[in-house]
Amino acid sequence: MNILDQLIDALRVLPGVGPKSAQRMAYHLLQHNRSGAQRLGLSLEQALSQLQHCARCNSFTEAEICERCSNTQRDPSLLCVVEMPADLAVMEQTHSYGGLYYVLMGRISPLDGIGPRELQLDKLIERASDGVVREVILATNFTNEGEATAHYVGEVLRSRGIKVSRIARGVPVGGELEHTDIGTLAQAMVERRKL
Amino acid sequence: MNILDQLIDALRVLPGVGPKSAQRMAYHLLQHNRSGAQRLGLSLEQALSQLQHCARCNSFTEAEICERCSNTQRDPSLLCVVEMPADLAVMEQTHSYGGLYYVLMGRISPLDGIGPRELQLDKLIERASDGVVREVILATNFTNEGEATAHYVGEVLRSRGIKVSRIARGVPVGGELEHTDIGTLAQAMVERRKL
Ligand SMILES: [Zn+2]
Ligand SMILES: [Zn+2]
C-alpha cells in the first residue's frame, strides 16, 4: 500500500468514518490543512503516551491520580458515578457537588455487547468499598441504557452494604446530562433520592 | 489546554467533524483502539513528510515525478484532466486510455470560493503547452461544477491553440465518475468529442 492509501486506511479507525470520507479527509488535510494534520499527529502521539486512566476516578489524566481526586478540599465520602468525562465536566459546572467522581467510560449496552464485565464494574466496586465512601450517587444518563446501568450498579453496590442514591429525575426522560441546562441539573443533584 | 482537550481540538481539523464527534472520536481511540490511533499518527506524519504533488500530473506522489508520469509506455501526446485522484483511479480501471493525466485537485466552485486561480490552472496550461501534448481530454464530472470547470478549462486551452476534447456524455447527467460503471466510462472515453 502506498503512503496515501495508508493514510486513508488509517483514518478509518475513527468511528463513523467510511472509505469515502476517509479519502475526503486525507485529501483535505494534505491539500488544505497540513499544519492541522501535523498538530493532529502530534496530539495523538502525546495523548497515547501521556494519558492514562486515573487510578481513583477512571477518567483520563496525565498523572497516576488526577488533580480532582488529589484535591483534599473535596468530600471523599461522596462518590458520583457518571458515564463519560463530558458528564463529569457538566456536573462540575453546576457547582452543586463537592464530592469525588467515578467515570464508567461507557454504559451497559447489551446491543453493543457491553455488559458489566466490559465496563469493569469491579473497579468501581473496589473504589466504592474503600471504607471512606459513605454514599454513591448514580448520575448516569436517563436514557434506557443509563437507567439500566444505574439499576444494575445500584443493585450490586447495595448488596455490598453501600448506600446508593440516584440524582433526581429533574433531567427529562430520555435526556442526556450534557444537553441539560445547568439549573435543572443542580436541582437534580439536590433532590437525589436513596435507592 | 490539557492533552485530552488538545487531541479533541486537533481532531476538528477533519472536514465534517464538530466538537461532539471529535470528543467521541478521542474517547473511542484512547479507550478502544490505541493501536489504530498510533497508526493514524504515524501515517499522518509519513504522508506529510513524504507526499508531494507530482511535478507533471499534480497528483500525490512519493517522488518528484510519479510512476505513471515516468512510464514511457504511455502516450505523452494525450493528457486527460480529472478532478481528483479517485477519478484517475477509476479511469485507469477502464483500460480504455493509455495517455497521461493531470489532476486538478478540485473543481471550479464559486460558492466555495474556488476559482481558476485557486485551482492553479496556470500549472495545467503550462503542462499542456509542453509541445508534446497534442490533445487534452477533459474528464471532469458531469455535475454543474464539473461541467463549468470543463467549459472554462476548454476555453482557456483552445485560446492557446491546444486541441481539447470532452469525454462523451455517456456518464449520466449529474453523475460522478467514481460512481459510474466501468463499461459506461469506457464508452465515454471512446466517444469523446472535440470541443
Ligand atoms: Zn481521578
Ligand atoms: Zn504524475
When mean pLDDT is compared over A115-119, A150-154, A164-168, the highest value belongs to: A150-154
> Count of residues for chain A?
195
User: A50 and chain B: CB distance < 8 Å anywhere?
Assistant: yes
Place of cell 481530454: B137
Mean pLDDT of A183-190: 70
Low-confidence ranges of chain B (pLDDT < 50): none
* pLDDT at A188 exceeding the cut of 90: no
pLDDT at B171: 63
Separation of alpha carbons A29 and B46, rounded Å:
13
A19 touches chain B (CB under 8 A): no
Residue A169: per-residue pLDDT: 67
Q: How confident is the model at residue A195 (pLDDT cuts 50, 70, 90)?
A: low
| pLDDT confidence band for A31 (50 / 70 / 90) | confident
| Dihedral of alpha carbons B183, A2, B9, B118, sign | negative
Using a 10 angstrom Cβ sphere, with 0-12 exposed, 13-18 middle and 19 or more buried, the burial of residue A79 is buried
Q: What is the pLDDT of residues A92-135, one digit of tens each?
A: 888 888 999 999 999 999 888 888 888 889 999 999 999 999 99
In sequence order, the β-bridge partners of residue A137 are A80, A165
Give residues whose Cβ lies within 5 Å of ion ligand 2.
B 54, 56-57, 66, 69
Q: How far apart are CA A96 and CA A92, in angstroms?
A: 8
Q: What pLDDT was estimated at residue A170? A: 65
CA distances A1 to A8, A49, A61, B92, Å, are 10, 27, 36, 17
The arithmetic mean of pLDDT across residues A16-21, rounded, is 92
Q: Which residues share a beta bridge with A53? A: A60
Contact with chain A for residue B45, Cβ under 8 A: yes
- Render pLDDT for A53-86 as a digit per residue (tens, 0 to 9): 999 999 999 999 999 999 999 999 999 999 998 8
Place of cell 484532466: B81
Chain B (108-127) residues lying within 8 Å, Cβ to Cβ, of chain A: none
Tell me if A74 sits within 8 A of A45, measured CB to CB.
Answer: no
At residue A9, the pLDDT reads 95
Q: Do residues B107 and B138 make contact, with C-beta atoms less than 8 angstroms apart? A: no
| Cα–ligand 2 centroid distance for B191 (angstroms) | 25
Q: Do B14 and A29 touch (CB under 8 A)?
A: yes
pLDDT of residue A95: 81
Please report the pLDDT score of residue B194 as a whole number. Answer: 65
**CB burial of residue A12 (10 Å; 0-12, 13-18, 19+):** middle
Q: Does A182 touch chain B (CB under 8 A)?
A: no
User: A53 and B29 in contact (C-beta within 8 Å)?
Assistant: no
In terms of pLDDT, which residue wins out, A143 or B45? B45
Ligand 1 centre distance from Cα of residue A180 (Å): 24
What pLDDT was estimated at residue A53?
Answer: 94
Of the bound ligands, which one is closest to the alpha carbon of residue B53? Answer: 2
Q: Are the beta carbons of B10 and A45 separated by less than 8 Å?
A: no
Task: Write out the H or E segment, with its range, that includes residue A44.
Answer: helix A34-50
What's the CA-to-centroid distance between A139 and ligand 1, angstroms?
Answer: 16
Average of pLDDT values for A16-44? 93
pLDDT of residue A179: 73
- Is B64:B90 a contact under the CB 8 Å cutoff? no
How far from chain centre, in Å, is Cα A57?
10
Write out the H or E segment, with its range, that includes residue A191.
none
Size of interface A-B (CB pairs under 8 A): 141
User: For residue B173, what pLDDT is reported?
Assistant: 63
> pLDDT higher for B99 or A195?
B99
Model confidence band, residue A40 (pLDDT cutoffs 50, 70, 90) = very high
Residue A82 DSSP symbol: E
Q: What is the pLDDT of residue B159?
A: 93
Measure CB to CB from residue A41 to each of B4, B9, B44 and give the nearest one.
Answer: B44
C-alpha–C-alpha distance, residues A42 and A85, integer Å: 22
- Which grid coordinates are listed for B148? 463549468
Question: CA A185, CA A167: separation in Å to the nearest integer?
Answer: 9
